[in-house]
């Protein structure tokens, strides 16, 4: 039986399999990319306040944080295909729940279900590892990444038009896409995990011990913390910019899509600069520059509330965001042992998810000054915080502080690394 399946892979060709996975990646990103521009406005229509919306965003990431490593291990034991089908089916059902929601708790249920059945990206990437020879894997991951990036570019564009009819229809569209993706995984994608994991599953080990082990590794620990801090500011920004442009500029929901489309265009158009600039300046310098500019851009948006400045900053931020995660991933590959790479990469994803959980919760805290009776003793400081909360610049001050702390941490980390490897320093190419 296994021999016949192996023959099937050789017959169909690894490139065809890569493009099937790339199509799944594209449709999956399209599903998510379509709903991101409407979640804030849609949730507000159910009378959810900023604090509740922050928790709503965190609910998805919290569920995904616990689900992703478990789904990955289950796919080792029971196969990639069934877990991928279950995961995509969860997105389909979750999108339907949100499309036909009649109250806020149904939105929370939909986001939780979507997160708890998440992990389809990691399983899809495992398909590439299973069935593609090592020399062809960079091409496979490039196709996967391109599909995901293209989905995030096209998703907000489609959402822009469908939302004219109603935001609930965007979730219906996402449900349809998830159903199509599920059917592709069920009927077109073959099972690729021919060597199943046989040892008993230890969920405590999967969820916690691997993170504990990775955090004890020198250098790796610092990179993982930097990755976590990156996720914090990213998560806050994903929510905060939406009411920021609505309240301060009178922009509607269309402009939320415009910001995401702009970011998608930049990420695809300037992708080649990542390797070019990393070769020219080195990973350490690029990491320092990335966090310095993130700090400055967030500070500018907090201090100067202006339409032109906002769009200029969006271009700069979109360009600089090209580098943070690729540089961090490359450093993880650079400084971790070969036998630890899989574990460390998985932990890095978990740490990023943890940042996406805590970030929305921090955004929720920036709405506290809006509460009646809020006071810090000093009337001047109290009024300043209330005004900053009302025009959502307080969230950008918070992101600036987080990015400044990250920049200082990066300066310390890179100085230590450069000192340690000064005699035999080398940079790994992308």
Q: Please check whether the domain covering 7-190 is classified as CATH 1.20.1250.20.
A: yes
- The pLDDT assigned to 327 comes to 77
The domain ranges of the chain are 7-190, 203-430
Q: How confident is the model at residue 149 (pLDDT cuts 50, 70, 90)?
A: confident
**How far, in Å, CA of 95 to CA of 90, rounded?**
8
Q: What is the mean pLDDT of residues 263-279?
A: 75
**How far, in Å, CA of 374 to CA of 364, rounded?**
15
- Domain at 203-430, CATH class: mainly alpha
Percent of the chain with pLDDT over 90: 31
The most confident of the ranges 56-70, 108-122, 270-284, 288-302 is 288-302
Q: What is the mean pLDDT of residues 368-380?
A: 81
Give a three-class secondary structure readout of 122-172.
HHHHHHHHHHCCHHHHHHHHHHHHHHHHHHHHHHHHHHHHHCCCCHHHHHH
Same topology between domain 7-190 and domain 203-430: yes
Average pLDDT, the chain: 82
Q: How confident is the model at residue 71 (pLDDT cuts 50, 70, 90)?
A: confident
- The pLDDT assigned to 430 comes to 41
Q: Is the pLDDT of residue 359 over 80?
A: yes
Per-residue pLDDT tens digits for 385-429: 889 999 999 999 999 999 999 999 999 988 888 887 665 544 444
Would you say 126 and 80 are in contact if contact means Cβ atoms under 8 Å apart? yes
- The pLDDT assigned to 419 comes to 80
């Amino acid at each position: 039986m296994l021999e016949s399946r192996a023959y099937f892979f050789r017959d169909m060709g690894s490139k065809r399999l890569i493009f099937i996975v790339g199509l799944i990646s594209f449709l999956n990103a399209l599903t998510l990319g379509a709903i991101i521009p409407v979640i804030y406005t849609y949730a507000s229509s159910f009378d959810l306040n900023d604090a509740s919306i922050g928790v709503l965003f965190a609910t998805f990431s919290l569920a995904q944080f616990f689900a992703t490593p478990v789904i990955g291990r289950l796919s080792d034991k029971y196969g990639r295909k069934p877990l991928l089908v279950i995961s995509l089916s969860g997105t389909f059902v979750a999108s339907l729940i949100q499309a036909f929601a009649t109250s806020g708790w149904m939105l929370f249920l939909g986001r939780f279900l979507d997160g708890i059945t998440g992990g389809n990206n990691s399983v899809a990437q495992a398909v590439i590892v299973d069935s593609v020879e090592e020399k062809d894997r960079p091409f496979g991951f490039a196709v996967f990444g391109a599909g995901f990036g293209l989905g995030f570019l096209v998703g907000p564009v489609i959402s822009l038009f469908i939302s004219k009819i109603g935001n609930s229809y965007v979730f219906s569209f996402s449900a349809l896409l998830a159903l199509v993706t599920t059917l592709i995984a069920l009927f077109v994608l073959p099972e690729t995990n021919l060597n199943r994991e046989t040892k008993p599953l230890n969920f405590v080990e999967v969820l916690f011990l691997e993170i504990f082990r990775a955090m004890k590794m020198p250098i790796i620990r610092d990179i993982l913390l930097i990755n976590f801090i990156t996720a914090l500011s990213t998560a806050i920004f994903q929510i905060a910019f939406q009411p920021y442009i609505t309240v301060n500029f009178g922009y509607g929901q269309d402009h939320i899509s415009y910001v995401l489309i702009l970011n998608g265009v930049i990420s695809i158009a300037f992708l080649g600069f990542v390797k070019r600039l990393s070769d020219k300046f080195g990973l350490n310098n690029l990491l320092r520059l990335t966090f310095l500019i993130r700090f400055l851009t967030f500070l500018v948006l907090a201090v100067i509330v202006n339409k032109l400045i906002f769009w200029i900053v969006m271009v700069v931020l979109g360009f600089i965001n090209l580098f943070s995660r690729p540089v961090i991933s490359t450093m993880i590959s650079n400084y971790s042992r070969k036998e630890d790479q899989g574990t460390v990469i998985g932990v890095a994803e978990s740490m990023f998810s943890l940042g996406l959980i805590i970030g929305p919760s921090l955004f929720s805290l920036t709405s506290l000054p809006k509460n009646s009776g809020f006071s810090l003793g000093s009337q001047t400081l109290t009024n300043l915080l209330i005004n900053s909360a009302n025009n959502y610049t307080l969230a950008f001050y918070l992101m600036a502080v987080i990015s400044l702390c990250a920049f200082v941490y990066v300066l310390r980390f890179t100085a230590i690394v450069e000192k340690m490897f000064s005699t035999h320093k080398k940079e790994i190419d992308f």
